[in-house]
């Protein structure tokens, strides 16, 4: 699948396109097919996202997994500060994104 990501303009938070807006949770990301460029142009213009781009990902039974390690780390947070990540209670979180 092809999904969209970027950073929230004001807060800088990593966000993912969920079909209607931008979510903090990569698992909300939806396949945008051929619409990537159009959505990104409109969303950047509306200042709802910054530094956005499209990436490849796979949908598994329970999550959306970006193809590249960099985006998996963006989705989680720093692997060395899981307390600040999106899965603070999960000691295996780092292993799963690598």
Partner 1 sequence: MYQYDSYDQAMVDARVEEFRGQVARRLSGELTEDQFKPLRLKNGLYLQLHAYMLRVAIPYGTLSGKQMRLLGDIADKYDRGYGHFTTRQNIQYNWIKLDDTPDILADLATVEMHAIQTSGNCIRNISSDHFAGAAADELVDPRPYAELLRQWSSFHPEFDYLPRKFKIAVIASDTDRAAMRLHDIGIQMVANEAGEIGARFYVGGGMGRTPMIAPVIREFVPALQMISYAEACLRVYNRYGRRDNKYKARIKILVHEIGADEYRRQVEEEFAHILTLGLEPPQAEFDRIAAFFADPGFESGLSDAVDRSDPDFALWLDQNTAAHKQPGYAVVVISLKPTGGIPGDASADQIRLMGDLGTAYSLDELRVTHTQNIVLPHVKKADLYTLWQKLDVAGLASANLDLISDIIACPGLDYCSLANARSIPLAQKISKRFADMDRQRDLGELKLKISGCINACGHHHAGHIGILGVDRKGTENYQLSFGGSEAADTSLGVITGPGFSEDGVVDALEKATDVYLTQRSEGERFLDTYRRIGMAPFKEAIYG
Residues that bind partner 1 (CB under 8 A): 7, 9-14, 44, 47, 50-51, 67-70, 73-74, 77-81, 84, 94, 98
Residue 53: CB minimum distance to partner 1, A = 11
Q: What are phi and psi of 21, to 5 degrees?
A: -155, -160
Residue 18: CB minimum distance to partner 1, A = 19
Please identify, using beta-carbon distances, which residue of 64 and 71 lies nearer to partner 1: 71
Q: DSSP readout, 33-90?
A: GGGHHHHHHHHHHTTS-EEEEEEEEEE-SS-EEESSHHHHHHHH--TT-GGGSS-TT-
Residue 96: CB minimum distance to partner 1, A = 14
């Amino acid at each position: 699948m092809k999904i969209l990501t970027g950073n929230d303009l004001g807060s800088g938070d990593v966000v993912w396109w969920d079909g209607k807006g931008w979510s903090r949770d990569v698992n909300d990301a939806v396949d945008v097919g051929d619409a990537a460029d159009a959505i990104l142009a409109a969303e950047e213009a509306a200042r709802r996202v910054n530094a956005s781009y499209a990436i490849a990902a796979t949908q598994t039974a329970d999550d959306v997994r970006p193809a590249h390690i960099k985006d998996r780390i963006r989705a989680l947070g720093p692997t060395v500060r899981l307390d600040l990540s999106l899965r603070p209670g999960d000691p295996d979180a780092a292993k799963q994104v690598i």
